């Protein structure tokens, strides 16, 4: 069966909206868009069958209960569980992992061990850290090279005290997909339970928990075109039976006494309170939607795109690849050689290209690999070749823009002329008719700020900026002067705007300025992200505070 990304994309209403006509959405590892069938299912639940489940015999309650148990059967088929009793509805993979950490570790003895890796999402690290502290357990990590786990060496950290092995099925920061068959061979002869965090994996391939051989598997619907607020926890029935419940309350009990209670059977003893019923309806719709697709063809299309991304990024000298295309899910992670990742993200956003920048809830991996902040472009089956071409062309344009003008001198540490803000005119900004041109001028202004490694000390760091910035101040002849540095071109541009107004002025002149009003009149508050606006105000507050302190001392 052939696969058409264009035809697949037409099933997602967001892309048909006028404001999204040119959108290139490459943030799918964070969340995917929703097909019309999922949106309709959530709406239809509220329109036609909104009622609580299991607690009443009236018509709407029966309909809602039937829906929930039908979706549970669909979920069992989705992961090839042996029984619907092995499927627990959770808010998402994060809640499922917290449930497992609480329920599994409460019966362990001090000194028992939990094995995870440096490539895990924080949701598969922090709950185990909390459990280890609570029950005096030991955390061990799969051996790694520059932070990248060597799953083939997992056996070297397994021993008679290993009780839990919880590993990613696909790393959300770099897309690395472990060889799960190899993991199974190393784990199967130990006394440990094996958990697979399949949040990324379920989006890109058919899941068969019986073939994988894991004891538990978790995933989130919003990663595979479903609604937010609902996820799946698969667990072997015997293990779920033996585990204590996590949350107490309604629905998870069969009988309540004055001192003790008797818990409900599987899977309800793990589903306290009212479930997210509309989200479950949406989950059922997306499982039916995926069942109608050629999943193999979808995966082949995604792999074609991700290999193309890696090939082209390797050829661009201004970017350093962090991810690899081999044995990989749909993620390309990289860093710009010049400038900051955050600047590149905003550059792309101005061109209606959505990517994600940050540590991606995987700080251990980034820290070990010396790339704590990366740009992550993640594909889904609705991404087209045109999307990738547009993205790559934008990267090439960014490289051209990053080149310094001919003859521009680099300021050396502690030497060279001061940054000259006198040639910056507000008219250059206000004369631009649209925001993109104004933003470009702002980035050009950032080039006025030269590199100053000598001021990059903790005492000069500006608190509140999304990207790091350093500011120093001194006074000469009653006038106030400033030096600024940052790796972010946008922060430099905002700093240049600020210093063009206050550098070399008296305290009285500075205090008479209405800088917040200027910021708003230029349209910066309207068009910049909240974090960028906060950065400008953080620079402004620190500069004005330094002026006030200096004036008080005189």
Catalytic residue set: 361
Q: Which two tokens stand for residue 397?
A: 């344009």
Residues in the chain: 554
Helix (H/G/I), strand (E/B), else coil: 72: helix
Rounded Cα gap, residues 138 and 159, in angstroms = 12
* Contact of 484 with 449, CB cutoff 8 Å: yes
DSSP state at residue 207: -
* 8 Å CB contact between 9 and 293: no
Distances (CA, A) of 16 to 3, 21, 69, 88, 191: 20, 6, 33, 35, 52
Distance CA 546, CA 540 (A): 10
Strand ranges (E), 285-410? 319-321, 331-336, 353-354, 356-358, 374-378
Residue 111 corresponds to which tokens in the numbers above? 């000194």
Question: Cβ contacts of residue 77 below 8 Å, gap of 6+?
Answer: 287, 291
| Cα 289 → chain centroid | 25
29: closest CA among 356, 271, 273? 356
Q: How far apart are the first and last CA of the chain?
A: 80
Q: Counting Cβ atoms within 10 Å, is residue 267 exposed (0-12), middle (13-18) or buried (19+)?
A: buried
CA–CA separation, 122 and 125 (whole Å): 5
Identify the H or E element spanning 541.
Answer: helix 530-553
* Sheet of 231-235, strands arranged across: 87-90, 231-235, 216-220, 193-197, 162-168, 113-116, 138-141
Structure-token pair, residue 493: 């541009």
């Amino acid at each position: 069966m052939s696969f058409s990304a264009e035809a697949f994309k037409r099933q997602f209403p967001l892309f048909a909206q006028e404001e999204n006509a040119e959108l290139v959405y490459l943030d799918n590892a964070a969340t995917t868009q929703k097909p019309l069938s999922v949106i309709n299912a959530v709406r239809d639940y509220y329109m036609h069958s909104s009622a609580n489940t299991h607690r009443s015999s009236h018509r709407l309650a029966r309909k809602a209960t039937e829906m929930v148990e039908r979706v549970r059967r669909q979920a069992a088929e989705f992961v090839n569980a042996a029984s619907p009793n092995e499927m627990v509805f959770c808010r998402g993979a994060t809640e499922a992992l917290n449930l497992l950490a609480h329920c599994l570790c409460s019966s362990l003895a001090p000194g028992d061990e939990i094995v995870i890796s440096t490539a895990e999402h924080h949701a598969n690290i922090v709950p185990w850290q909390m459990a280890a502290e609570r029950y005096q357990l030991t955390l061990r990590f799969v051996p790694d090279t520059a932070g990248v786990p060597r799953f083939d060496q997992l056996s070297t950290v397994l021993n008679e005290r290993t009780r839990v092995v919880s590993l990613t099925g696909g790393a959300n920061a770099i897309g690395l997909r472990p060889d799960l068959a190899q993991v199974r061979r190393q784990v199967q002869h130990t006394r440990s339970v094996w958990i697979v965090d399949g949040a990324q994996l379920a989006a890109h391939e058919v899941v068969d928990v019986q073939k994988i051989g894991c004891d538990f598997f978790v995933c989130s619907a919003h990663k595979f075109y479903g609604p937010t607020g609902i996820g799946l926890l698969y667990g072997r029935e015997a293990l779920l039976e033996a585990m204590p419940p996590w949350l107490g309350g309604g629905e998870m009990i069969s009988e309540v006494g004055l001192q003790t209670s008797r818990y409900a059977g599987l899977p309800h003893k793990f589903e306290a309170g009212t479930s997210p019923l509309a989200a479950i309806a949406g989950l059922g719709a997306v499982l039916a939607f995926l069942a109608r697709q050629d999943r193999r063809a979808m995966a082949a299309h995604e792999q074609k795109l991700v290999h193309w991304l890696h090939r082209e990024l390797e050829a661009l000298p201004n970017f350093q690849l962090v991810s690899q295309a081999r044995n990989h899910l749909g993620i390309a992670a990289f860093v710009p050689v010049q400038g900051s990742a955050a600047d590149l993200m905003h550059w792309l956003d101005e061109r209606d290209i959505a990517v994600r920048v940050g540590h991606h809830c995987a700080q251990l991996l980034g820290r070990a690999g010396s790339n704590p902040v990366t740009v992550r472009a993640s594909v889904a089956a609705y991404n087209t070749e045109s999307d990738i071409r547009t993205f790559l062309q934008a990267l090439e344009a960014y490289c051209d823009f990053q080149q310094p003008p001919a003859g521009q001198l680099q300021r050396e540490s502690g030497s060279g002329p001061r940054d000259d803000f006198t040639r910056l005119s507000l008219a250059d900004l206000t004369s631009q008719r649209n925001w993109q041109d104004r933003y470009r001028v702002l980035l050009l202004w950032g080039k006025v700020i030269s590199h100053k490694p000598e001021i990059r000390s903790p005492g000069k760091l500006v608190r509140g900026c999304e990207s790091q910035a350093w500011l120093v101040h001194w006074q000469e002849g009653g006038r106030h002067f400033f030096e600024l540095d940052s790796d972010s071109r946008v922060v430099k541009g905002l700093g240049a705007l600020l210093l063009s107004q206050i550098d070399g002025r008296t305290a009285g002149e500075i205090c008479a300025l209405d800088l917040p009003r200027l910021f708003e009149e230029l349209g910066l508050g309207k068009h910049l992200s909240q974090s960028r606006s906060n950065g400008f105000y953080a620079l402004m507050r620190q500069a004005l505070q330094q002026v006030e302190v200096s004036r008080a001392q005189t």
